[in-house]
Amino acid sequence: MIEFRSATVTAPTGDATILHPTTLELSEQRISIIGGNGSGKSTLARLINGLVAPSSGAVTVSASGGPPLDTMRDGTAVRRLVGFVFTDPAAQLIMPTVVEDVSLSLRRSHRDKRERHAAALAALERFGLDALADRSVHTLSGGQKQLLALASVLTGEPAIVVADEPTTLLDLRNARKIGDLLMGLPQQTVVVTHDLELAARAERTLVIDGGRIAFDGAPDTAIAHYRELAAHS
């Protein structure tokens, strides 16, 4: 469960509002967020795991049966609960090799180095990356990097996955592959996207315009509303 309570984000100078007061409860398993560039949709997504702090109001997240965690007050616990996938995977691939990057995500759950390495290899096999285990992350294709970034996030076993435009830098084949993977996850998944075909696969879609929620409802209706907004902007 993700809950926004009058969450507002203003520019550091205080002279512009990036996200107007937003109150929401997000309980569906698959949620998509769409909107134009600069609309505030990425800001909304980044509030969910504390990458952006609300200037006022609050955001809480909880796993099934667990207590609500405030994204600011309970930051460390929130980041364990919420996995975040960036548009550019280079922003989160920090270790030299593929297997080392996944191993880094397993350091809390597997204290023993050999066990951690074995678990990382098993995770890579699950995502079809095992043949690349010893490759430098810098030599991977865009699709392979995004798949590795997602694998690293998922090995941490988050209850919620937030992906901020995860297919924007990918070709059609890899975009579909990543989209299929995200929409098939057992975790609650929130996807910010310009890919309206991907957005339509969610159970609920938010349309963000001018830092406000312009529509909240069924994906097909939300996409039609977004197209109408775009036609008149």
Which domain range does residue 31 map to?
2-231
pLDDT for residue 233 is more than 80: no
**Strands 160-164 vs 82-85: parallel, antiparallel or unpaired:** parallel
3-state class (DSSP) for residue 44: helix
Q: Is residue 160 very low, low, confident or very high in pLDDT (cuts 50, 70, 90)? A: very high
pLDDT at 108: 80
Q: Is residue 15 very low, low, confident or very high in pLDDT (cuts 50, 70, 90)? A: confident
Give me the mean pLDDT over the 155-179 stretch. Answer: 92
Please give the helix or strand (H or E) that residue 4 lies within, else none: strand 2-10
3-state class (DSSP) for residue 202: coil
pLDDT at 165: 94
115-139 pLDDT, tens digit each: 899 999 998 998 889 999 999 999 9
Q: Which residues contact 146 (CB under 8 A, 6 or more apart)?
A: 85, 89, 166, 167, 169, 170, 174, 178
pLDDT for residue 230 is more than 90: no
Give me the mean pLDDT over the 74-78 stretch. Answer: 95
Count of beta carbons in the 10 Å neighbourhood of residue 141: 12
Give me the mean pLDDT over the 100-127 stretch. Answer: 88
20 vs 17: CA distance, rounded Å: 6
pLDDT at 113: 87
**Is residue 32 within 8 Å of 183, Cβ to Cβ?**
no
Give me the mean pLDDT over the 68-89 stretch. Answer: 94
CATH at 210: 3.40.50.300
Higher pLDDT: 96 or 13? It is: 96
| Number of domains making up the chain | 1
pLDDT at 111: 80
Q: Partners of 190 in the beta sheet?
A: 31, 162
